[in-house]
Amino acid sequence: FLQFAFHAYTTAFTLLNGNGTTKAEEYSLQEKQILYGLGAISYAACIGAFPLVFMDRYTSKSSLMQLVTKKLLPAPILGLMSAFTVAVVRSPEFENGIEVMDRNGKVVGLSQKAGEKAVRETALSRAVLFGTTFFLPAVLTYFVERAKFAKTPRALASVRMFAITSVLAGMLPVSLSMFPQCGEIKRADLEPEILSSTEETELFYNRGI
């Protein structure tokens, strides 16, 4: 349930803050994105919860296995699934294309390649944000637990929450600044119909968040 709630929130955020070019009237794009989003959320929640369900069903006495499965593995999976939900929800952007503009802000055309680049950059930044945010605190909490700095489970939970909050606060600006909001793409990388409509060497697009 917690995995589902997390991915539902991030998917809704992605849906509201993507590139707005593909909001066409001739087809029910928003309904399509919502259906894609529900499928991606359900899949991501199941994959994210799988290591914990596996350990609960097939309890292993190996401390190394428990460390990897319960503490280290969920964070990379969360990062990958966050990138996955971005790619699925914003798939219409690289299927239908997004607007590309010249230096003066004039729209030159719709480009699927620019849409693919925008979605790829956003997915990567989201994976880095959430993967790092939950991986580093898990490692820190493990060493705190081994060193017995936290005497009670409540104290250990407080340390973990503080670590997550601190890493998230530090990683959020890093994630947002990994790629510029106004992305650039070379004219040679675009479709032939756009090449024939402009002489600009570099064009621009709105990456979304």
Tens of pLDDT along 149-204? 777 888 888 888 999 999 999 999 999 889 988 899 998 898 888 888 888 889 99
Q: Which two tokens stand for residue 57?
A: 């069903």
Q: For residue 46, what are the CA distances in angstroms to 42, 157, 187?
A: 6, 24, 41
Sheet holding 98-101, edge to edge: 107-111, 98-101, 202-206, 182-186
Where do runs of H (alpha helix) occur along the chain?
2-16, 29-57, 63-66, 74-89, 91-96, 112-147, 153-177, 192-195
Residue range of the domain that includes 180 = 1-206
Output the pLDDT for position 23: 53
Confidence of residue 85 (pLDDT cuts 50, 70, 90): very high
Residue 118: which of 98, 101, 102 has the closest Cα?
A: 98
How many Å separate Cα 12 from the centre of its chain? 12
Residue in this structure with the two tokens 């790619």, named with its chain if needed: 87
pTM over 0.95: no
pLDDT in tens, 89-136: 998 888 888 999 988 888 888 899 999 999 999 999 999 999 999 889
pLDDT attached to residue 27: 47
**Dist CA 82 CA 170 (whole Å):** 18
Total domains in the fold of the chain: 1
